[in-house]
Amino acid sequence: MWYVIQVRTGKEEEIRFQCEKLIEKEILEKCFIPHYEQMKRYQGKWHKEQRILFPGYVFLVSDAKERLPFALKRVTGLTKLIGTGDEVVPLTEEEVDFLLEFGREEQVVGMSKGLIVNDQVIIREGPLKGNEGLIKRIDRHKRRAYLELEMFGRTVETQVGLEIVEKR
């Protein structure tokens, strides 16, 4: 089962490191932070960089639903385990499938390439292919697409890298 913990934005790597160090392997299988690739221009060239896909969230994979909340009490700086009230709720199968399809096993969403035809975005390659409906707006200058997703039982806004190679 996949779970999500909410942390203070900017502390994601620190919390991930603490989780991996303090929680036993039989409770915590994996702890990760999904990233996305974006292009950034400096020193006259375009550079590919990685940014956090969901700032303020760290993902956990565990089959020990009862033991996980107690193990997380050892982690300092953790805001809360996402759930309903007192109950810890794992991500739905659809959310896990989406994350695996979108970020693959290494949980890095690559750059997508597309074009605009008659004000409609068509993605030719990359993780956004087939997911054009998630795009709320595009910043062609910064080479980014802003997405709105249903995750963690709420609507979450995020961004991914998108290069529009042609406009007709």
Q: Residue 86's pLDDT is what?
A: 59
Q: Check: CB of residue 86 under 8 Å from CB of residue 13.
A: no
Q: Where are the domains of the chain?
A: 2-167
Q: Any bridge partners for residue 32, and if so which? A: 59
Query: pTM for this one?
Result: 0.89
Sign of the Cα torsion 124, 128, 134, 135 reads negative
Tokens describing residue 33: 């932070």
Tokens describing residue 30: 């994996």
Q: What is the pLDDT of residues 14-46, one digit of tens each?
A: 999 999 999 999 999 999 999 999 999 899 998
Q: What is the pLDDT of residues 101-131, one digit of tens each?
A: 999 989 999 999 999 998 899 999 999 999 9
Q: Residue 144's pLDDT is what?
A: 94
CA distance 34 to 154: 18
Architecture of domain 2-167: 2-Layer Sandwich (3.30)
For 10-143, where are the E strands, in sequence order? Answer: 30-32, 35-42, 45-52, 57-61, 78-81, 83-84, 87-88, 108-109, 112-117, 120-125, 135-139
Q: Say if residue 84's pLDDT is above 60.
A: no
Lowest mean pLDDT among 82-91, 121-130, 145-154, 156-165: 82-91
